[in-house]
Homo-oligomer: A and B are copies of this chain.
Amino acid sequence: MTVDEIAEGRRQAFYQGIQPLHLSPLWTVLHAVVTREPVVKEVPHLWAWRAVRPYLEEAARLIGTDEAERRVLVLENPGEVPHPAVTQTLYAGLQIILPGEVARTHRHTANALRFIVEGEGAYTTVDGEKTVMRRGDFVTTPIWSWHDHGNSSDQPMVWLDGLDVPLVNRLNGMFGDPFPTEVQPVTKAPDDSWWRWGQSLRPVGDPPPQARRASPIVNYRYTVARAALEALQRQGDLDPWDGIRLEYQNPVTGGPALPTMAAYLQLLPRGFRTASHRHTSGTVYCVVEGRGRTWAGDVEMRWEPNDVFVVPAWMPHRHEVLGDEEAVLFSFDDAPVQRAFGLYREDKE
């Protein structure tokens, strides 16, 4: 045996010796785990409403609510993320509920949001406040809040669910509970939380219903946010990267609507092309009005109303509005998680 062979043999013995001790050599993986830039596993993808809608209908036919406590088609990122997930930290799904159906009350430590895509008249009840939902409404069901929903209208209703399930599971923080009865009692008037907290007013001596860092507002109405976008457009606001973009705010803290997820409504004027930027947060978009396309890295995604698409973390992206109308996009991301630890970065071109 040569000296080299001896050395190599000793190395092999070393590597074989440490394995059963549950030790591994950092030097073989250091450059793969402490990288110069994030190595992002999620990829851009668009779920076309045209393609998904028929399957929602079919799911409604095939799957009863007794079978499916929540009848949701999960939007699965085609990249190598732990499923179900739309990004490394976020979950998204499209939920359909038929007239007459009711989904039972539960709560969990995952935060959830709903953005109404189709229909009008179904309701969600959150901690005793029942809100009747309309297209474009943004509904919060924060950590550990009792929530259920039902459809007392005469048409199916579809919404986008957004949750932080992948994050909460990774943090070993998932707890869940069913409510003792199927439907929780309604103890508050419609839009109670909006009147109480929504308009930069607050009732004296009436603390918001939680210390959970989530917005107390159950339903942020589309009419309100849409009118605000128009007002800012008239006032000449136009960000090169985002057009006119409003974040739904927790009025108790001035922070994001949910402790782990921020949500936005954004207007892109007719024909507007944004500049490109990237940020460490990953974003799920849902098209409310208009048509256009978004480039994320090399991928072009063409969109029209009710399409949902995802832009991965740290991937340069830009939008372009097509056709004769302005566009309105709803979106949510995990920026609050990154900001909590100083990990949020943005890179503008």
Q: Given A231-B195, A244-B203, are A172 and B282 also a contact pair (CB < 8 Å)? A: yes
| Contact code string A184-228 (vs B, CB < 8 Å = 1, else 0) | 000011011001111111111110000111010100100011001
**What CA separation (Å) do A25 and B58 show in the bound complex?**
12
Given the complex, which residues of B lie within 8 Å of A248, measured CB to CB? 200-201
| Contact code string A149-177 (vs B, CB < 8 Å = 1, else 0) | 00000000000000001011111111111
Please, which residue of chain B has its CB at the minimum distance from the CB of A343?
B173
- The answer to whether the Cβ of A274 comes within 8 Å of any Cβ in the partner chain is no
Please, which residue of chain B has its CB at the minimum distance from the CB of A266?
B204
- The answer to whether the Cβ of A1 comes within 8 Å of any Cβ in the partner chain is no
**What CA separation (Å) do A75 and B174 show in the bound complex?**
26
**What CA separation (Å) do A225 and B199 show in the bound complex?**
8
Which listed residue, B59, B215, B225, B343, touches A171 by the CB 8 Å rule? B343
Output the least CB separation between A34 and chain B (Å): 5
A21 touches B34 (CB 8 A): no
Q: Given A169-B33, A343-B173, are A74 and B25 also a contact pair (CB < 8 Å)? A: yes
Which listed residue, B201, B205, B236, B247, touches A225 by the CB 8 Å rule? B201
**What CA separation (Å) do A25 and B16 show in the bound complex?**
43
| Contact code string A69-97 (vs B, CB < 8 Å = 1, else 0) | 11111111110000110001101010000
- The answer to whether the Cβ of A324 comes within 8 Å of any Cβ in the partner chain is no
Which of A115-123, A252-260, A284-292, A294-302 contacts the other chain?
Answer: A252-260
A73 touches B25 (CB 8 A): yes
Q: Given A203-B244, A237-B203, A342-B259, are A172 and B313 also a contact pair (CB < 8 Å)? A: yes
Please, which residue of chain B has its CB at the minimum distance from the CB of A26?
B72
Given the complex, which residues of B lie within 8 Å of A77, measured CB to CB? 22
Given the complex, which residues of B lie within 8 Å of A29, measured CB to CB? 74, 84
A260 touches B204 (CB 8 A): no
B26 touches A74 (CB 8 A): yes
Q: Given A27-B71, A69-B27, A177-B36, are A199 and B196 also a contact pair (CB < 8 Å)? A: no
Which listed residue, B91, B259, B280, touches A341 by the CB 8 Å rule? B259
**What CA separation (Å) do A84 and B231 show in the bound complex?**
41
Please, which residue of chain B has its CB at the minimum distance from the CB of A10?
B62
A34 touches B110 (CB 8 A): yes
Output the least CB separation between A224 and chain B (Å): 6
- The answer to whether the Cβ of A143 comes within 8 Å of any Cβ in the partner chain is yes
Q: Given A74-B24, A245-B203, are A235 and B189 also a contact pair (CB < 8 Å)? A: yes
Please, which residue of chain B has its CB at the minimum distance from the CB of A265?
B201
B23 touches A47 (CB 8 A): yes
Most buried by B among A23, A30, A59, A340: A23
B58 touches A204 (CB 8 A): no
A345 touches B27 (CB 8 A): no
Given the complex, which residues of B lie within 8 Å of A242, measured CB to CB? 204-205
**What CA separation (Å) do A91 and B334 show in the bound complex?**
23
- The answer to whether the Cβ of A100 comes within 8 Å of any Cβ in the partner chain is no
A215 touches B237 (CB 8 A): no
The 10 closest A-B pairs by CB, nearest first: A173-B343, A172-B313, A27-B68, A26-B72, A195-B231, A189-B235, A204-B245, A201-B246, A38-B172, A23-B73
